[in-house]
A = this chain, B = another copy of it.
Amino acid sequence: MARETDNLELTKNPATEEDLEDLALGEDYALNPEYVPMVADALDAGDSERLRDLLSALRPEDVADLMGFLSAKDREELVPHLDPETLGDVLSELDTEIREDVLAHLPSATLAKALEEMDSDDAADVVDDLEDDKRAQVLAAMPEVERAAIETTLAYAEESAGRLMQREVVAAPQFWTVGQTIDHLRRESDELPELFFDVYVVDPSYKPVGAAPVSHLLRSRRDVPLAQIMEQVTEIPVDMDQEEVAYIFNKYNLISAPVVEPGGRLVGQITVDDIVGVIQEESEEDILALAGVSDAGRDATMFGIVRSRLLWLVLNLATEAVAVGAIAFYQDEIAKIVALAVLMPIVSSVGGNAGTQTLAVAVRALASRELNASNALRIFWRELGAGFVNGLIVAIAMGAAVTVFFHNWRLALTVGLALVANIFIAAAGGILVPLALEKMGRDPAVSSAIFITFLTDSMGFFAVLAIAAMILL
């Protein structure tokens, strides 16, 4: 009997479907690059049947992935082939730029239907991307309850727990038993969130006092009181920043957590699948910020890219101009010993890299809360020590090479001393600058790199020339 039900769910031609799935996705479930032109060809040929077959091998997440590889025109033609539920799931998975583009071409009525199928947090996320006019149209086309849920979510600050949370939660009073809870869940099945992992146990004022994991409910006898199987809850304030929420989930290995208002009342829940996205996003932001890229999705236009990178390049140009001021100041020395011009950039470059190393470690440690006031001093001394040792080793190597090539031990000494000084200063700056920015409430990933580059470039030039002026000329 169960077997028949199972078979009914398969299509008439399972072999072909499985073949298509193997063609669509690699063993690691990444989209095969060859599948993209196949879909594009079906779209260009207007072959709806072929397209339906190709799409049937994909889950909504794969369709979202596919759309990232299609041209804007193909994407627009693909959307009408998706049913409202799939469209909703696809929309919540799309990259921002692509989503904005798709939304701009989507009829308000179609979008309203898709939004009804989504969880309130995902729906709000999509509505937030709409232009004002369209937003009003779409919200007007939605049923009262769903519209209110979306509007409430959008009232919370961007990147706050209130935006991340689902308003749909399962709560039970603390005097219920396992049996009462299960009966309630069966009765209210239609009203429950699609998936949930904890039943929050609440007191009469709706404050969470514990969480009963669903696996504990399933394995316990019906007469066991909830209070006996519930575990400690980790409450998330509704206005907490998403980066802090992600830290808490990661630290305590949480699957879900209740979100509470300032008074302590339960208003929603955050589940770990939303947090995985946040962690990915935040660490990508750090990588890009350290490299001086303000933001760039896969579908940015060429001018979007230009914009996202130009600021850093211009700042870099300006700080370099100041740094080379040191060189201009010592032009006479360079004219006398051209080798200085050859060797200075090495000192700057190696110092810059030493600074970047310390900076990356410090930014990472600050983000994971592994660096704070209680160990900052110890880590600072350790970095200084390591910077000094590394500086010494690299300086000896460079000094030896300079002695061999230029037959001038004073020049070797000049460059070696400058290198030790620059790597030492790079280590100090690499740890102090992000600590100071964090203390000032700024994101240390965003602005540290420009300081460090400036510091090590100017020190590189200045140290070589100043030491040369003292011992070489």
The chain A residues found within 8 Å of chain B, CB to CB, are 1-3, 5-6, 9, 27-31, 33-34, 36-37, 59, 61, 65, 68-69, 95, 174-176, 182, 185-186, 188-189, 192-193, 195-197, 209-210, 213-215, 217-221, 225-228, 232, 234, 237, 240, 244, 247-255, 272-273, 275-277, 279-280, 283-284, 286-288, 290-293, 296, 298, 301-303, 305-306, 309-310, 312-314, 316-317, 320-321, 323-324, 327-328, 331, 334-335, 338, 340-346, 348-350, 353-354, 356-357, 359-361, 363-365, 368-375, 379, 382-383, 385-386, 389-390, 393-394, 397-398, 401, 423, 453, 457, 461
Looking across the interface, which residue of chain B has its beta carbon closest to that of A59? B252
- A306 partner residues in chain B, CB cutoff 8 A: 386, 389-390, 393
Instruction: Give the CA-CA distance A346 to B338 in the complex, in Å.
Output: 18
The A interface, classified by DSSP as helix, strand, loop or mixed, is helix
- A220 partner residues in chain B, CB cutoff 8 A: 186, 189
Min Cβ gap A208→B in Å is 13
- A316 partner residues in chain B, CB cutoff 8 A: 349-350, 353
Assess the B341–A228 pair: CB atoms within 8 A: no
Instruction: Give the CA-CA distance A9 to B232 in the complex, in Å.
Output: 11
- A401 partner residues in chain B, CB cutoff 8 A: 321
- A303 partner residues in chain B, CB cutoff 8 A: 386, 389
Assess the A186–B219 pair: CB atoms within 8 A: yes
With contact pairs A273-B253, A309-B390, A341-B341 given, residues A29 and B374 touching in the complex (Cβ less than 8 Å): no
Assess the B374–A302 pair: CB atoms within 8 A: no
Looking across the interface, which residue of chain B has its beta carbon closest to that of A320? B346
- A383 partner residues in chain B, CB cutoff 8 A: 305
Assess the A182–B218 pair: CB atoms within 8 A: yes
Min Cβ gap A287→B in Å is 5
Assess the B317–A398 pair: CB atoms within 8 A: yes
Assess the A219–B453 pair: CB atoms within 8 A: no
Min Cβ gap A66→B in Å is 10
Q: Which listed residue (B219, B320, B324, B335) contacts A189, Cβ 8 A?
A: B219
Assess the B317–A346 pair: CB atoms within 8 A: yes
With contact pairs A27-B237, A302-B386, A386-B302 given, residues A284 and B364 touching in the complex (Cβ less than 8 Å): yes
Min Cβ gap A162→B in Å is 15
With contact pairs A5-B228, A253-B273, A284-B364 given, residues A33 and B370 touching in the complex (Cβ less than 8 Å): no
- A310 partner residues in chain B, CB cutoff 8 A: 390, 393-394
Assess the A65–B279 pair: CB atoms within 8 A: no
- A197 partner residues in chain B, CB cutoff 8 A: 197, 214-215, 255
Assess the B280–A357 pair: CB atoms within 8 A: no
- A174 partner residues in chain B, CB cutoff 8 A: 2-3, 6
Additional A-B contact list (12), CB under 8 Å, known A36-B375, A321-B346: A29-B247, A33-B372, A284-B368, A288-B360, A309-B354, A313-B394, A316-B349, A324-B346, A328-B342, A334-B338, A335-B338, A341-B344
